[in-house]
């Protein structure tokens, strides 16, 4: 009797659930990217890039109502982000679903006024992932979000892939919601976000005449924050000095002039790089010694060059050291003097090493601009790809 009753109870409990919380995947509006702009009268304008699966995937055997557009951009305004998103529901036929969001794009005007509510909203909502890319743009975020790219069908996916390989170009940091939140919550570090820009480029290989006719999303440096407000921009060429501080960088390309002929150029690819920040206390104030150890490989030489010429190698190593040192020093200077924002996470390094002292030195924001940062670089060039002898005519 008892097991029979148990069995019945089991069967009915499954039948009477009424499928709580069940939403089919085709009833969801999958958001691929979201753009945040300033709306009218202090409102916030949310633009969602929603994928249309049937068009995003050329599905054989399942003819859907294809119109050709892989995405559908929907814009709504509201006093808060949540209200704006709720307003989306007035015209969106499917339920907005955030879990697959690739990127959050914030307009710089909005960022200058503060992004505290954005950080809160996007880390509070359980549907949102902490590994979503967060970027700032000087252009309208809604435009950035709805820009179609040449290679990927879905623009959000294009942004995602753009950031996966940022280390190659080293023009922007790759910043995720997680980094933004942790820097924002930290009492020493300040957030720094990747920055993108719309630049006219060619996207058609058939019509070269169209080159420059379409706007594309380009990596364009980084936006520096103090607390939740955007305070400045790092240019793309300045980002390389920043990257070792906040990311693990393994590669990169440095262009140098040839040892014999300053007119000619050669490229060194960074094969292996290690960066270390050593905190210390000098005369009661924090000081830092950064050391950058780089192993490079000659990938292109505009002049005859061989690794066997130790003098030349020493010369370009020296030149490269100077260059890398300059880059880092420039960023440190900007952080300390121009923006007075510790987006280099130096305070975190100090706090980790000297927890008790860091409590005594007072407000890090006041201390940081005057701390001493020493920059060292050590470059070894030990590889010249598959050419050993110099490339020269008749030689």
Partner 1 sequence: MKESMDQKLNHEFKPSLTDNVLLLKEILSNCDDIVFREFVFHEKINEIKGICIYTEGLVNTLEVNEILDLLIYRGKELLATVPSVNLDINLADKVKSEILSKHNIKLLTKVEFAIEGVLSGDSIFILDCTDKVFLASTRGWNERSIEDPATEQVVRGPRDGFNESLRTNTALVRRRIRDPLFKIEAMKVGKKSKTDINIAYLDGTVKEGLVEEVKKRLNHIEIDGIIDSGYIEELIMDAPYSPFTTVLSTERPDKVASSILEGRVAVFVDNSPFVLIVPTYFWQFLQASDDYYTKYMSGTFFRIVRYIAFVISLTLSSIYVMLVSFHQEMIPTALALTIASGREVVPFPVLIEALLMEFSFELMREAGLRMPKPVGQAVSIVGSLIIGQAAVQAGVVSPFMVIIVAVTGISSFAIPNYAGSFSIRLIRFPLLIASGTLGLLGFATMFSLLAIHALTIRSFGEPYLAPATPFVPSDQKDSLVRMPWWKMERQPQLAEGVEDRVGENQRPSPPRAGGTSANSSDQDNSSNN
Cα–Cα distance, 314 to 80 (Å, whole number):
59
CB of 123 to partner 1, least distance (A): 16
61 binds partner 1 (CB under 8 A): yes
> Judged by CB, which is closer to partner 1: 54, or 287?
54
Considering the complex, state which of residue 54 and residue 231 has its C-beta at the smaller distance from partner 1: 54
User: Residue 327 interacts with partner 1 (CB under 8 A)?
Assistant: no
Cβ neighbours of residue 361 closer than 8 Å, sequence gap 6 or more = 284, 285, 286, 367
Q: Which of 17, 210, 251, 308 binds partner 1 (CB under 8 A)?
A: 17
Q: Which of 37, 157, 319, 327 binds partner 1 (CB under 8 A)?
A: 157
Ranges within 30-59 binding partner 1 (CB under 8 A)? 30, 32, 51, 53-54, 56-57, 59
243 interacts with partner 1 by CB under 8 A: no
Q: Establish if 102 lies at the interface with partner 1 (CB under 8 A).
A: yes
Q: Which stretch binds partner 1 (CB under 8 A): 23-31, 190-198, 301-309, 363-371?
A: 23-31
Shortest separation between residue 21's beta carbon and partner 1, angstroms: 6
- The answer to whether residue 68 forms part of the interface with partner 1 (CB under 8 A) is no
Which range in 7-15, 34-42, 137-145, 194-202 contacts partner 1 by CB under 8 A?
7-15
Select from 1, 2, 5, 19 the one that contacts partner 1 (CB under 8 A): 19
Residues in contact with partner 1, total (CB under 8 A)? 36
Which of 1, 2, 5, 62 touches partner 1 (CB under 8 A)? Answer: 62
Note whether 378 binds partner 1 by CB under 8 A: no
Q: Identify the bridge partners of residue 117 per DSSP, sorted by sequence position.
A: none
Smallest distance from the beta carbon of 164 to partner 1, in angstroms?
Answer: 13
Q: Which residue in 127, 272, 352, 370 binds partner 1 (CB under 8 A)? A: 127
Quote the distance between the C-alpha of residue 378 and its chain's center: 27
Compute the distance between CA of residue 195 and CA of residue 167 in angstroms, rounded to an integer.
15
In terms of Cβ atoms closer than 10 Å to its own Cβ (0-12, 13-18, 19+), residue 118 is buried
Q: How far is the CB of 53 from partner 1 (least distance, A)?
A: 4
Instruction: For the CB of residue 10, give the shortest distance to partner 1 in the complex, in Å.
Output: 7
Q: Which sign, positive or negative, has the C-alpha torsion 91, 95, 98, 102?
A: negative
Instruction: Compute how many other C-beta atoms are within 10 angstroms of the C-beta atom of residue 384.
Output: 20
92 is an interface residue for partner 1 by CB under 8 A = no
Q: Which of 77, 78, 100, 289 binds partner 1 (CB under 8 A)?
A: 100
What residues contact residue 349 under an 8 Å CB cut-off, 6+ apart?
A: 277, 279, 288
Backbone torsion region of residue 165, taken as left when φ is above 0, otherwise alpha when ψ lies between -120 and 50, otherwise beta: alpha
Question: DSSP string of 205-237?
Answer: SS-GGGTT-EEEEEEEEEEEEETTEEEEEE-GG
Q: Binding to partner 1 by residue 10, rule CB under 8 A?
A: yes
168 binds partner 1 (CB under 8 A): no
- 23-31: long-range contacts, CB 8 A cutoff, minimum separation 24: 23/95, 26/53, 27/94, 27/95, 28/94, 28/95, 28/96, 28/97, 29/92, 29/93, 29/94, 29/95, 29/96, 29/97, 30/97, 30/100, 31/96, 31/97, 31/98, 31/100, 31/101
Look-up: residue for tokens 């995602």? 160
Q: Which is nearer to partner 1, 60 or 393 (CB)?
A: 60
Beta strands in 202-351 (DSSP E): 214-226, 229-234, 252-257, 265-282, 285-301
**Least distance in Å: CB of 306 to partner 1?**
46
CB–CB of 144/220 below 8 Å? Answer: no
Residues at the interface with partner 1 (CB under 8 A): 3, 10, 14-15, 17, 19-26, 28, 30, 32, 51, 53-54, 56-57, 59-65, 97, 99-100, 102, 127, 129, 154, 157
């Amino acid at each position: 009797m008892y097991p029979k009753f148990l069995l019945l109870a089991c069967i009915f409990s499954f039948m009477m659930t009424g499928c709580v919380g069940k939403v089919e995947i085709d009833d969801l509006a999958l958001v691929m990217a979201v753009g945040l702009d300033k709306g009218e009268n202090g409102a916030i304008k949310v633009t969602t890039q929603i994928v249309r699966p049937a068009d995003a995937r050329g599905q054989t055997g399942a003819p859907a109502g294809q119109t050709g557009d892989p995405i559908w951009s929907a814009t709504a305004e509201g006093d808060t982000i949540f209200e704006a998103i709720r307003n989306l529901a007035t015209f969106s036929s499917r339920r907005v679903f955030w879990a697959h969001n690739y990127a959050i794009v914030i307009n710089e005007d909005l960022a200058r006024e503060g992004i505290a509510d954005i950080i809160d909203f996007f880390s509070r909502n359980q549907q949102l992932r902490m590994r979503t890319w967060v970027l700032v743009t000087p252009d309208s975020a809604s435009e950035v979000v709805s820009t179609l790219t040449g290679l990927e069908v879905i623009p959000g996916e294009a942004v995602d892939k753009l950031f996966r390989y940022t280390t190659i170009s080293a023009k922007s940091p790759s910043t995720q919601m997680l980094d933004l939140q942790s820097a924002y919550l930290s009492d020493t570090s300040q957030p720094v976000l990747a920055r993108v820009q719309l630049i006219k480029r060619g996207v058609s290989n058939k019509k070269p005449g169209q080159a420059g006719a379409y706007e594309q999303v380009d990596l364009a440096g980084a936006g520096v924050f103090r607390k939740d407000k955007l305070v400045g921009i790092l240019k793309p060429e300045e980002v390389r000095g920043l990257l070792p501080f906040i990311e693990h960088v393994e590669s990169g390309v440095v262009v140098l002039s040839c040892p014999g002929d300053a007119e000619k150029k050669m490229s060194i690819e960074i094969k292996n790089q290690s960066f270390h920040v050593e905190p210390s206390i000098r005369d009661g104030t924090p000081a830092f010694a950064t050391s950058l150890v780089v192993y490079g490989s000659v990938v292109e030489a505009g002049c005859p060059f061989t690794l066997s010429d130790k003098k030349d190698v020493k010369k370009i190593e020296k030149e490269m050291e100077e260059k890398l040192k300059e880059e880092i020093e420039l960023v440190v200077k900007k952080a300390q003097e121009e923006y007075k924002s510790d987006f280099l996470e130096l305070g975190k390094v100090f706090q980790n090493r000297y927890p008790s002292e860091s409590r005594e030195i007072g407000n890090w924001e006041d201390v940081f601009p005057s701390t001493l940062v020493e920059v060292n670089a050590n470059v070894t060039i030990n590889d010249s790809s598959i050419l050993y002898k110099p490339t020269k005519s008749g030689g």
